[in-house]
Amino acid sequence: MASLLQYRSPALSISCPLSLRRRSSSSAAFPGRRKQLPAVQSKIREIFMPALSSTMTEGKIVSWIKSEGELLSKGESVVVVESDKADMDVETFYDGILAAIVVNEGETAPVGAPIGLLAETEDEVAEAKSKAKGQSVVTEAAPPKVATSPPPPAVKAAAPSGPTRIIATPYAKKLAKQHKVDINKVIGTGPFGRITPEDVEKAAGITPAAPSKSISAANVVAAPTPAPAKKGSPTSFPEIPGSTVIPFTTMQAAVSKNMMESLSVPTFRVGYPVSTAALDALYDKVKPKGVTMTALLAKAAAMALSQHPVVNATCKDGKSFTYNSSINIAVAVAINGGLITPVLQDADKLDLYLLSQKWKELVDKARNKQLQPHEYNSGTFTLSNLGMFGVDRFDAILPPGQGAIMAVGASKPTVVADAEGFFCVKNKMLVNVTADHRIIYGADLAAFLQTFSKIVENPESLTM
């Protein structure tokens, strides 16, 4: 019977079904026959790695707030988990004893994997610890089974007769759906017979990662073709004496993954100079009221997007695109150890002062790693402003799942010629937009930038 955990940030808490599962000692030995048991003799619950965001596939244990053997009360924080975007406390909805810690501090585990065991009484603590050791053995023993068994038998293996409950991690279910694998026919090698992502990949006939690396390395040595040489080049660099290898944090790994995904999208870039004299004057007036330049630019972009909805659209499958009903401006923010994009939702509908207040709250949450999933994964258009650092121009990489991203440079005095041919100096900033060429064309982007420029050069509408 599934139960609940609650994860929360220090500022607020959100409850969600995060997987504490009750198991008896008999069901642990025979996972396929749980429904035939007359009664549950013990109440040992598994604490699972929660999914704290839509893009999270694994989490890192930052710290265990409670130690093994400590009594827990309903609502107490048990562990701090680092996702690809934030750190969150995980709370228990049950009274009991933290009998065993399966995943230690600093270690990672896939979403849905057990990270600890909760016992109801002291008599069950020893049994829980025994199960925890058994889980470690099974986890370590699983890879050899995958390596020695050929892929086809995993799919064709006979499923247990009669109605049984399939135990699989969320990511394994997602992979099964993607590769059209009947998960009912997959044999699980995880703890208590749980189906893991590796089991699904094995059933789908996907080559394991280890063999592919060895084959790639062999190709690099044997073949002088350019492609294998590129694959092997990262490992062919000579080591620099005294250098230190630092592994990615969870956030850095997520950023790296997104950047690699962006390479599959055909993009193009358009630059446009915008006069900022009027915007600078407006900023001087509203700055004492707490309005930031980022809020002004986000508001201007949102107003322009409302007139050019295709630039706010999304193409996710390469076969169709979606007009988003909301204009949610994601703004890139550099934080310690990574990059995150808090989202100003419905930016076109908020007045400038409320937008500025909302932005300050989001930045504070981002830097304290307290953002909730909907506050960073719902963007439809991204704004990156390096102008505050004096950068005059740059190109931004398109985030996955969005149609365009705007890179804003610094406003600087520029010599220009007026209509009569006389030279004068005006403050201008260069705006570069990177767009998905599958759904946005050059004329679309040019029209959008013209509208954005008119709003910035006549900014009275921003305060309405």
CA dist 291 and 298 (Å) reads 12
Taking phi over 0 as left and psi of -120 to 50 as alpha, with beta for the rest, 184 belongs to alpha
Helix axis angle, 352-367 to 293-307, nearest 10°: 120
Task: Based on the residue annotation, tell me whether 308 is a catalytic residue of this protein.
Answer: no
Burial class (CB in 10 A: 0-12, 13-18, 19+), 263: exposed
Give the Å distances, CA to CA, from 421 to 51, 277, 426, 428: 62, 20, 15, 18
| Residue recorded with tokens 């365009």 | 404
Name every residue whose Cβ is closer than 8 Å to that of residue 339 and which is 6 or more positions away in sequence.
Answer: 251, 255, 332, 333
Name every residue whose Cβ is closer than 8 Å to that of residue 464 and which is 6 or more positions away in sequence.
Answer: 351
* Distance, CA of 275 to chain centre: 36
Q: How far apart are the first and last CA of the chain?
A: 54
Buried b (16+ CB within 10 A) or exposed e, 345-367: bebbebebeebbebbeebbebbe
Q: Which of 179, 308, 374, 437 is catalytic?
A: 437
Buried b (16+ CB within 10 A) or exposed e, 111-124: bbbbbbbbbbeeeb
CB under 8 Å, gap of 24 or more: what pairs does 103-109 form? 103/49, 103/61, 104/61, 104/64, 105/61, 105/62, 105/63, 105/64, 106/60, 106/61, 107/60, 107/61, 108/58, 108/59, 108/60, 108/61, 108/250, 109/49, 109/58, 109/59, 109/61
Which amino acids are annotated catalytic?
Answer: 437
